[in-house]
Structure 1
Amino acid sequence: MGSLDGKIALVTGAGQSIGRGIALALATEGAAVTIAELDAGNAKKVAAEVEERGASALAYPCDIRDNAQVAACVAATVKRFGGLNILVNNAMASVVGIPLEETTDAAFALSFATGPAATFAFMRAAFPHLQGDGRIVNLRSGSELSGLPGYSAYVAAKAAVGGLTKVAAREWGAHGITVNAVAPFAPGPTTQAKFEEHPEMLDGILRSLSIKRTGDAEQDIGRAVAFLVSPAASYITGCTLMVDGGGSFL
């Protein structure tokens, strides 16, 4: 038996990288999972992987910038599985590596539309279904502390997600909902490619970590999320769990 048997989860951006790892970790613990993903092909692939773990899956193509699509995704999950217990806001798009003074309005808007605005929309849409024993996990970043150069829009958006997490934890505890965050370090394919091209970048990061390796999307990040949404974490809310090998302390 898994710790999440009978539970229903919705994970945004679950078609790749950390989102995929989270979806697979939740499935391994027995949860049915909706794969909310812009790329329909990737959504179907991860849904098949979830089913290979013995869990039910729904592949749902969704542009998280569109509130109507967000509401429809939540409604489709409830219709398919009969409810919703777990919401993981993982998806976010951002243009990085640009000095603040060169960051365009469009780049700034993209980070906020796919970060805090989408997180807010999913939380609001899911709220009626999560009452009683619901779990929300939002994805933050250790770069909020470091003020990573070239990441102004990204860092600002992630900080806003952190603010939403804290307010929701205060307000929704009375409704039986816990709201926490995870700040991960598990490079996806694009970042890994950059590390292969510039190994000194990875070397510099690893020197700053207490545990000198990169995180694994499923085994490290996914399992941390699985803990936060499990019965074992029912008295934890409003916290940010740093799953980054000791790269930062928040």
Structure 2
Amino acid sequence: MRLAYLLAVAAFGLSACGSSQTPINLGGADVPAIYEARTDTGPNGESIEIPAVRAAYLNERNQRQRVPYNGPEAPGTIVVDPYARVLYHVLENGEAMRFGIAVGRAGKGFSGDGVISVKKQWPSWTPTQNMIRTEPELYAQFAGGLPGGVDNPLGSRALYLYRNGRDTYYRIHGTMDPSSIGKATSAGCIRLFNQDIMDLFDETELGTRVTVRSQAESLRFEGPLIETPEGYVIPAREQAQATAVAAAPTTQPPLVESAVPAR
């Protein structure tokens, strides 16, 4: 069962909507304090060490940061943009806390409004009947569910999105694969660094409104985006600016003739 689990996790990219070794602290002096290693309490009261996020994964768009926000949503709202691969927690005074996210196939299969109706620490995971039916070789073995813990692809926390009292099966959750943040993944919904989902979890009350942007809404608020060779997305204007700077001619200082007369 253990081997089958590892093979399945590798196949669907450590995601879930739709190694049990001790974590190693891979952080460094240049890792912000919020992304350093943490000790958490697991689902059975055990101590779980959450490793620091490697500095290499903390690019400008992946790091949590306070930014100006021009959307219409009220403070307290969570806004998910699966196309720009960011999540906003809307604040007062036209600002928001922005988080980098990884987006699986299911992350683009829903748009519109919902509410957070369930919150779980170290959540268990059960594949949907549709997942089992379409890919039984991967998911049938997990039909009874996978308990929460360091082997669970939902990570340390999960927020469950409901609409009209019904579970949408849309999840905002952690991950055991921090290298995936900022990228598209083979499956799953919306994943954050474990440190980010833990803090967002604590700040999010049941009943919190969530808006998931459509592709048209993403284009309206974020502008055109391009994917880098590394698999991240950046605003097209940044790429255009970088290209313009690289193409600009280098101005050479004028040649100054020697004041010493020729002999």
TM-score by length of 1: 0.23
TM-score by length of 2: 0.22
Bigger proportion of residues as helix = 1
Larger radius of gyration: 2
